Amino acid sequence: MSDVVTYNREGAIGVITVNYPPVNALSHAVRTGIQGAIQQGRDDADAKALLIVCDGRTFIAGADIREFGKPMQEPGLPEVVNFIEATDKPVVAAIHGTALGGGLEVALGCHYRVAVPSAKVGLPEVKLGLLPGAGGTQRLPRLTGAQKALEMITSGEFVAAKDAAQLGIVDELADNDDVKAAGLAFAQKVVDEGKPVRRVSEQNDKLEAEKGSDVFDKFREGLKKKARGLLAPFKCTDAVEAAFTSASFEEGMKRERELFGDLMDSDQRAGLIHAFFAEREVSKVPGLPKDTPVREIKTVGVIGAGTMGGGIAMNFANAGIPVTIAEVKQEALDKGLSIIRKNYEATAKKGRITPEQVEERMSLIDGTLTYDDFKDKDLVIEAVFESMDLKKKIFSELDEKCKPGAILASNTSTLDIDEIASATKRPEDVIGLHFFSPANVMKLLEIVRGEKTSDEVKATGMALAKKIKKVGVLVGNCNGFVGNRMLHKRGAEAMALVDHGASPQQVDKVLTDFGFPMGQFAMGDLAGIDIGHSIREERRKAGEDVPPSWMDKLVEKGRLGQKTMAGTYKYEEGNRKPIPDPEVDQIIADFRKEQGIEPREISDQEILERCMYVMVNEGAKILDEGIADRSLDIDITWIYGYGFPAYRGGPMFWADQIGLDKILDAVKKYHKEVGGKQWEPSPLLEKLVAENKKFGDL
């Protein structure tokens, strides 16, 4: 008997307990253990019913993802689930925490399910590029019917115990969270009432009722837009359909297995599982021990109630932390606060929060016109205009007014954190907290360490990210940090491609076909293209060699992006859809003429290579300089800050899949053909290729 699964009898109930922290994943030891314990229960003449229950924080959270990609050790999960179901004594699953993926499949293999009120169930395999491969696609629709099973399996969303009970997934809802007591009581009831062994695989009423329905075709139609570029949701649909079209349960299981195998072998599965672990790894910062003390953040100040300040403040109110916003003028403050209220009210209208929650959150936000009100704050985040002089002035004032131990943070997207910190006498307490717009929505928080930032302040930044439900990535200090530094390289390349013959919409289509939610130019219109223009102007003034651009002409004509209804594209009132504009085509054509550029046909492949490889080359430089500690930090920055398709694993993981040798060859080619610092090959990239290694090996 394995020590991760134990069997003991309590009265007439044979209790099988799984104890495999942290989440009772179905490792080989757990699978073998469950099978052995079920066998023991079968053989135990005094056991009239069996109960599967888990120790620790949760019921089984799924297959052990760490075993994927390695040779499968028998018994496989489908066999274990079938073995449970075939048992001739009633088997009950008692669910707490989350019964996910293979965990829910184990529960569906049991004859009855009881759940505590706080429990959730789900089949989230799709989020890992997979489908439920241990009978989930065949058993769930037998309980819920096709539509609900399709929704659950293709979205991977969790369902609360109460709803699971309504859907017939759970037979009984316990009245408190004592899972073992609930399981034992239910199992005893099964014995006392002589309830039969009831196998889900034998329940065919729902299948019969829906045979021949057009629900699958309709569902696939809807997926075309929702799941663009993704493989798994479509294969999930095929697998659920097989439950309805197969002659037997066994035949359906065979089809599920084939489809599962297809996905297991796919690059998308590899990318999504990389993203899953990278997201968890990113919080474990090298050189920052887990037990680093963190400061308690009980009250927060935000400076600036503009685009970013308002969104930043909402994050704290959402987490129940009171926040005060400072502005220069009452008018700006009132405007900022009213936008926050409008945002909350819009969320309430969509039913995502209640009207009471709107008031609760608003009551946690107040405004001020003086930093005197910041003297007791544990953290102050500055979000004023991107001006070094202004930021230094503010930090020097904060240094005087804030209590010792308060953390002073800047939301700057490009400026030097060390220079900002130099305006204070406490650079160890200064850090960058770079939110992404809209700050209350985007999940990324780039946490920028200055040279003197203390470990305690870095660790507090990381803990804070978790508290406000962001993914925090700790990065070094340089112009643009990790995300914007790479983005700026891609932006310059995209503009140059248009200079030489591509159209903005061709460039954007290549990027959206790759899986980005928006192309470079549509994204620029959203953020405002005047920002890029001012950055170029600043650099020109500083004497840098920044070539002229057709985008400067757009700004000169007042086309600043969505906010002026025209940028690289034009917009219609109340609609954010970018519409190609002949006026822009003309501006571009005139610009080419002016610059003596003969436009040429540019292939989609060249666009893809130049936009993506330039980022990978820059990413390698960022790693080499220690601005990012690991390639996974870059991957997560791009997935959560810029909508890089998670199924490609992030830019550095994607580069590893393409082959670094291939990328280096292209970088060298473009260095020769296009020129510019951005195409100078990264020494790290060259070294990795010479050593036949990948970013993931670092």
Active site residue ranges: 105, 125
d(CA 569, CA 560): 10
Closest approach, Cβ 41 to ligand NAI, in A, equals 58
Closer to ligand 3HC at the Cβ: 120 or 533? 120
Among ligand 3HC, ligand NAI, none, the one that 476 touches (CB under a kind-dependent 5 to 8 A) is: none
Q: Which two tokens stand for residue 26?
A: 């179905």
394 binds, among ligand NAI, ligand 3HC, none (CB under 5 to 8 A by kind): ligand NAI
With 0-12 / 13-18 / 19 or more C-beta atoms within 10 angstroms meaning exposed / middle / buried, residue 350 is exposed
Report the distance separating Cα 109 and Cα 457, nearest Å: 49
Contact region for ligand NAI (CB under 6 A) — 79-87, 429-437, 544-552, 685-693? 429-437
Among 405-413, 556-564, 574-582, 626-634, the segment contacting ligand NAI (CB under 6 A): 405-413
Q: Which of 44, 267, 386, 418 binds ligand NAI (CB under 6 A)?
A: 386
Told to check if 324 binds ligand NAI by CB under 6 A, we report no
List the 430-435 sheet strands across, edge first: 365-368, 323-326, 300-303, 379-382, 407-410, 430-435, 444-449, 471-475
Beta-strand runs (E) in 125-212? 159-160, 172-173
In the complex, the smallest distance separating the C-beta of residue 157 from ligand NAI, rounded to whole angstroms, is 29
Residues 6 or more apart whose CB falls under 8 angstroms from that of 124 comprise 62, 100, 101, 156, 157, 158
* Number of other residues whose CB lies within 10 A of the CB of residue 696: 17
What contacts 523, CB < 8 A, 6 or more positions away? none
Containing 518, the helix (H) or strand (E) segment is none
Cβ–Cβ under 8 Å, residues 612 and 514: yes
CA distance 224 to 215: 15
For residues 190 and 462, which CB has a smaller minimum distance to ligand 3HC in the complex? 462
Pick the stretch among 132-140, 382-390, 451-459, 677-685 that binds ligand 3HC (CB under 6 A): 132-140
383, 482, 495, 623: which one binds ligand NAI (CB under 6 A): 383
The window from 85-93, 352-360, 435-443, 654-662 that contacts ligand NAI (CB under 6 A) reads 435-443
Number of Cβ within 10 Å of residue 488's Cβ equals 18
Strands (E), 406-470: 407-410, 430-435, 444-449
List the structure tokens of 335.
Answer: 């405007």
Which C-beta is closer to ligand NAI: that of 102 or that of 578? Answer: 578
Residue 155 found at the interface with ligand NAI (CB under 6 A): no
Pairing of strands 471-475, 444-449: parallel
Of the candidate residues 22, 212, 286, 574, the single one contacting ligand 3HC (CB under 6 A) = 22
Q: How far apart are CA 256 and CA 239, in angstroms?
A: 5
Compute the half-sphere exposure of residue 553: CA atoms within 13 Å on the CB side of its CA.
19
User: Least Å distance between CB 341 and ligand NAI?
Assistant: 16
Confirm or reject binding of residue 65 to ligand 3HC (CB under 6 A).
Answer: yes
When binding is defined by CB under 6 A, the residue of 159, 303, 421, 584 that contacts ligand NAI is: 303
Count, residues near ligand 3HC per rule CB under 6 A: 24
Nearer to ligand 3HC, 65 or 305 (CB): 65
- Listed in sequence order, the DSSP H helices in 542-603 are 550-556, 582-595
Is there binding between residue 286 and ligand 3HC (CB under 6 A)? no
Q: Does 411 bind ligand NAI (CB under 6 A)?
A: yes
d(C-alpha 534, C-alpha 545), whole Å: 15
Nearer to ligand NAI, 267 or 386 (CB): 386
User: What residues numbered 450-509 form the site for ligand NAI, per CB under 6 A?
Assistant: none
Q: Which of residues 490-529 bind ligand 3HC (CB under 6 A)?
A: none
> Which of the listed partners (ligand 3HC, ligand NAI, none) does 280 bind, with a CB threshold of 5 to 8 Å by partner kind?
ligand 3HC
Q: Which stretch binds ligand NAI (CB under 6 A): 83-91, 255-263, 298-306, 350-358?
A: 298-306
- Closer to ligand 3HC by Cβ: residue 495 or 632: 632
Q: Are 698 and 653 in contact (CB under 8 A)?
A: no
Shortest Å distance, C-beta 66 to ligand 3HC = 5
Q: What is the b/e burial string over 140-151, where b = at least 16 CB atoms within 10 angstroms of the residue's CB?
A: bbbbbbbbbbbe
Q: What angle do CA 481, 486, 487 make, to 5 degrees?
A: 105
Q: Does residue 100 touch ligand 3HC according to CB under 6 A? A: yes
Q: Which amino acid is at 200?
A: V
Q: Which does 384 bind (CB under 5 to 8 A by kind): ligand NAI, ligand 3HC, none?
A: ligand NAI
Residue 494 Cβ, how far from ligand 3HC at the closest point, in Å? 36
Residues that bind ligand NAI (CB under 6 A): 303-309, 326-328, 332, 383-386, 390, 394, 411-413, 435-437, 527
Residues that bind ligand 3HC (CB under 6 A): 22-23, 25, 61-66, 77, 98, 100-102, 105, 124-125, 128, 130, 132-134, 136, 280
